[in-house]
Amino acid sequence: MAAPSRSTCNVTERSFRERVPPLLTDLYQFTMAYAYWRAGRHQEHAVFEIFFRDNPFDGGFSLLAGLDDCLLFLRSFRFTEEDVEFLRSVLPPATDPAFFQFLRDLDCSGVTLRCIPEGTVVFARVPLMEVAGPLAVVQLLETSLLCLVNYASLVCSNAARFRLAAGPRRKLLEMGLRRAQGPDGGLTASRYTYIGGFDFTSNVQAGFLFGIPVAGTMAHSYITSFTSLEEVRPQTVVAANGDLVDFISLTKGWLSRVCELLGAESGKVREGELAAFLSYAIAYPQNFLPVIDSYSVSCSGLLNFCAVALALCELGYKPVGVRLDSGDLCRQSVDVRCVFRCCSEHFSIPAFGSLIIVGTNNISEQSMAELSWKENEIDVVGVGTHLVTCTKQPSLGCVYKLVEVRGRPRMKISEDPEKSTVPGRKAVYRLLDAEGHPFLDLVSLAMETPPEAGVPLSCYPLGCDNSAVSVTPAQVISLCQEMFVKGQVTQPLCSAAETRAKVQSSLQTLHPRHKRLQEPDSYTVALSDRLQNLVAEIQRGSSDDSNCVLAN
């Protein structure tokens, strides 16, 4: 396991335009943009906001991620001549050719983005990101921004839940590349699971691009590629003191002693497996961590491991540990630890007291949580499929809703109240109690005076039948920051490690009752009095307004 030594942010930026071109969006964004343009409305100042309606995984919170990619996307947003020609071929023939010239000249120099910072704990129905600018442009951005935020936030939140289930000390390895939605799905998963609290990834490219520590030693195929000790070449290893030693003989000696100590039948020990372990240890005497369940842990893999590891110790090296990849990981880890302790004591090898046990076998959030109450000796857990595909809920329903046009608030009033939106440009304040725990997110109109610490305020919690409550915050944090103005990113982008640290500190302040994985207490999100009044006013007004369609 090793961490890369340098940052490679430039690589990310260089390929960004190619990875997320402005055509990576839904066709209807272009047909709408054309209709706006045709009506001369394309330059009208409009504001959209992004939010989701339910916290993922039946949990009490989510993490916000993907923002940095959104900023890079906005910065690189520009159509190539090829893009425009393609659009010409797919838009209806009636499209005015001047529209394509408009597209050619388009960029995000008129767009402003305000956002809750990457890696912050967020809640359902809170506006996460506000995108303001010319109507046609901010409409075109919808799908790409949602695509960048949705999965990043989901998988980051999923990783945070695995981290909460695992407790703070166990090391977590992400290894889902082969089960993700293609190459970039895997890369996004590696990046945001690290940010969400994992320690390592198996994905080398993620290490290269994002500076995430990478880890891994061997698969079963490595073991099964060996059949006999004759395949071990060289058969010698240089000891820590420089002596050249016949490693096979040395190990065979240890194997006899281990079998005798443990009362194991040496006849069941697999020669191919021993050959594989020997070869690996000769290649990497300081990094010996084999997978030991290719045949049978107790009858072969564990014995072979102990023999090779004891030989390494005799030569002055420190073996690292073992990986278990099938069966009942908890029970096996206890048995394995027991053998390690036995060898450590019997042969007086202290290094055997600190060997690590890695467990990897289709780990789910449920099985991760079991590790906190089932007896086990697992130090590092590798998680793939359930982590990257978010089996428990494979998508986060972030939406992008219009809240203002030409300075006038806009609201979608649906027959389905869940689908109605909250109008107007907003500010979001996180109210903290005397212990420093957030207890309420206040969504107010942007123009309102911010709430003050120690001053009572009245507000309307969402989902509570429109009744007001009065609260007094001990502390108030303004959540949204301006991140992109006039074509420029105005905040420094953070490295994955920096955002990861922010995630942990943001989670730290959250009260345990909101962090509980099962049936958490729901966190309160409330509208300010004025915002609540605006909603009521528009709802009333709308029923009046609509009478006039056929009046004149």
- Asked if 361 and 327 touch (Cβ cutoff 8 Å), the reply is yes
Residue closer to a copy of itself, measured from CB, 178 or 346: 178
Residue closer to a copy of itself, measured from CB, 39 or 338: 39
**Separation between Cα atoms, residue 470 and residue 457, nearest integer Å:** 5
Closest CA to 388 of 124, 152, 65, 68: 152
Q: How far is the CB of 398 from a copy of itself (least distance, A)?
A: 8
Reduce the DSSP state of residue 238 to 3 states and report it: strand
Residue closer to a copy of itself, measured from CB, 415 or 435: 415
**Separation between Cα atoms, residue 290 and residue 360, nearest integer Å:** 13
Residue closer to a copy of itself, measured from CB, 135 or 535: 135
Residue closer to a copy of itself, measured from CB, 411 or 440: 411
Other CB atoms within 10 A of residue 427 CB: 22
Question: Which residue in this structure is represented by tokens 């060997």?
Answer: 355
**Separation between Cα atoms, residue 156 and residue 387, nearest integer Å:** 9
Q: How far is the CB of 5 from a copy of itself (least distance, A)?
A: 5
Residue closer to a copy of itself, measured from CB, 268 or 331: 268
Q: How far is the CB of 456 from a copy of itself (least distance, A)?
A: 35
Q: How far is the CB of 409 from a copy of itself (least distance, A)?
A: 10
Strand partners, 489: 484
Q: How far is the CB of 189 from a copy of itself (least distance, A)?
A: 7
Q: How far is the CB of 136 from a copy of itself (least distance, A)?
A: 10
Q: How far is the CB of 479 from a copy of itself (least distance, A)?
A: 23
**Separation between Cα atoms, residue 195 and residue 190, nearest integer Å:** 9
**Separation between Cα atoms, residue 341 and residue 261, nearest integer Å:** 12
Q: How far is the CB of 83 from a copy of itself (least distance, A)?
A: 7
**Separation between Cα atoms, residue 231 and residue 511, nearest integer Å:** 57
Residue closer to a copy of itself, measured from CB, 178 or 516: 178
Residues contacting residue 274 through CB under 8 Å, at least 6 positions apart: 229, 251, 255, 304, 307, 308
Which tokens hold the place of 117? 């910072």
Residue closer to a copy of itself, measured from CB, 229 or 334: 229
Nearest 5°: the CA angle 171, 172, 174 is 155
- Cα dihedral value 211, 216, 222, 223, nearest 10: 180
